[in-house]
Amino acid sequence: MCLSVPAKVLEVRGGKALVESRGWRREVDAPFATPAIGDYVLVQMGVILEVLDPVEAQETLRILEQMEALGGA
């Protein structure tokens, strides 16, 4: 099973974006969404699936951090 986590857009380069989340950075494709710098996006297998609401994205990241602290992620 794959878990998609929110990632923050650092740069946009045509149909690609540089994103960062939880200590990693990757260049990903953006065929289904038009992200802007600072947006949070959902990435699956190197592709941005959608632009996320920033409050919901930050809440998801906070919950993941809590799970890790409890040894569950």
CA distance 48 to 57: 14
Residue 22 confidence class, pLDDT cut points 50, 70, 90: confident
What confidence tens digit (pLDDT) does each residue in 41-61 have? 999 999 999 999 999 999 999
- Report domain extents, the chain: 6-69
25: number of CA atoms within 13 Å, CB side? 5
Confidence at residue 68, expressed as pLDDT on a 0 to 100 scale? 87
Rg, the chain, Cα only: 12
Would you give the DSSP letter of residue 22?
T
CA distance 51 to 70: 29
Q: Is the dihedral of CA 31, 46, 35, 16 positive or negative?
A: negative
The CATH classification number of 6-69 equals 2.30.30.140
